[in-house]
Chains A and B, each alone.
Chain A
């Protein structure tokens, strides 16, 4: 067991790779990102495509339309063709449909069938009773909606995945904004020390006391909500913690010998910050950033839930959850699907953050 001493980063990575929970979380996050990026191409439905005849379908593996949904649609279409459905028998992908009426059925009326999303082009097989009884062969489409459909008949899986792109993007970008501002502010404050530090931290203290979420709401309500504004608003709110962490680290670091040596060698303050201070604060900052992403995603979905965040036609998990909550009684699956995506992502991020914190803890054993 006497391997050569490894760098702290290597040891942290090693510890993290032994943490089963954190590794599972990492895998979940990788899968989620991959699914959101390429998934919408594989579901077979464009996220905005509506199927008016297949609204609020429950989730399931079976091909749609199934027998229960076929008949009402057929009856409705037959009414428009001015006939009634005498027989309907499905064999595989084709439906043998017998239409009956008191008058001659105009075969041109059959164009209503392919218009309904569920059927292909019909073919008249036989015409009896002077055209009052029409036998038609229609191909039935086979559509799969793993998570069901929403109130407009849109595929929820595609919608959830596309929404995930927006939620994850906001989570990452707003965190990066907060990270950039926080690191810069904290490092400068801690490195400058003295009166500058005191003044800069006083500003942070004042900002801490602000009811920030209320501010974000005021911002997005009064200036039409846009993706950029939400990003800026959330990023501007969440940098405070980061600034405090970085400042505390910097204060400790600047008394260390290697920083004093760099100073003595005539390195400029900016160079010391860049080369020696900031890289050494990255451990705790990584942990804080990992835990910040779920908070940002939560904040965005909170805004979207209130109808103040991402606006149609763009969508995010918060938007979908809000839609689901509105049609809770008729279609609870509309809440369950997107909520599961959101919760899985948040749990994974929190678990990963905890794992990172444990792995980077300098007091931990190898």
Chain B
């Protein structure tokens, strides 16, 4: 088990290296720089700035320095937020994004698995059709449409919930962003659960339980265990798309998370901030994929842990 985890983490190193190299050189090949202002700086000042941040060195040297700093856990100073390091920015933004993403994940899993399993249990009935239609709709309506609609309905018309802002993570400020983020994912999970649950309910051990006259909830519990495998398998990509969604949600609802930092950083040519975000997201995706595989193995002992 420990060996397996270690091996998987080691295997992630080349992946992370590709990520870092790709984004580093892509960004540097692009025209423009972090100190291009509307009113150009004096050449001497520009040279000084470039020297302080090491931008006067050859690209390969800069890349080497970045990697060396990264290994020590240093993400470098931010270019656009003066006097702040990327780590400082993450210390502020990451909790926001994590709370948002974690809650959205929980909501979408609860909704998706619950509704999907229910639909599979009542296959062909009106519950099934309703859940199917709702899931298709949830998948097709993008977050940037849902969010404004929720803002109109609950913020501007009913005045039940605030339209934007964070306010230290007050629950009322969390509801709309979390719903926006969770809806499309819940749709996807519901469809997946419905399909695999329908399959599981046809399995022989379930038929045996039926014939033994076990109560429906016990049958459902056994079937669900197998049916959850595909859901767990997509946990990695799922959290990646939650992170993507958070870019929009944080922009619309004005939340100070890392998704917003990323877009602003990219627009401001804030090399280190963009690199830092990409690295962070890549690490998250790798770790979550690993967690997903571990949970799969726990759910289904037949899936042996081998690399």
Contact = CB atoms under 8 A, between A and B. Distances in A.
Interface stretch (B24-32, B42-50, B91-99): B24-32
Contacts of A298: 142
B139 interface: yes
Interface string B5-25: 000000010110011001100
Q: Is the interface of A mostly helix, strand, loop or mixed?
A: helix
B286 interface: yes
Interface stretch (B53-61, B81-89, B104-112, B246-254): B246-254
Contacts of B149: 335
Contacts of B252: 325
A302 B27 contact: no
Contact of B240 (A211, A308, A321, A329): A211
Nearest to A318: B144
B243 interface: yes
B27 A222 contact: yes
A342 B144 CA distance: 12
Interface stretch (A6-14, A152-160, A212-220): A212-220
Contacts of A321: 144-145
A324 B148 contact: yes
Contacts of A218: 23, 26-27, 266, 274, 278
Interface residues of A, number: 39
B18 A206 contact: yes
Given A219-B26, A343-B145, A209 B282 contact: yes
Interface in A331-352: 332, 335, 339, 342-343, 346-347, 350-351
B144 A209 contact: no
Interface in A89-125: none
B281 interface: yes
Contacts of B193: none
A214 B152 contact: no
Interface of A: 205-206, 208-211, 213-215, 217-219, 221-223, 294, 298, 301-302, 305-306, 308, 318, 321-322, 324-325, 328-329, 332, 335, 339, 342-343, 346-347, 350-351, 354
The 7 closest A-B pairs by CB, nearest first: A222-B30, A346-B140, A211-B281, A221-B266, A213-B244, A347-B140, A339-B145
Given A222-B266, A294-B140, 16 more contacts: A205-B15, A206-B15, A206-B18, A211-B19, A215-B22, A215-B23, A217-B247, A217-B262, A218-B266, A306-B251, A318-B144, A328-B151, A329-B156, A346-B140, A347-B140, A351-B136
8 contacts: A206-B15, A214-B23, A217-B266, A222-B26, A222-B29, A329-B156, A335-B145, A343-B137
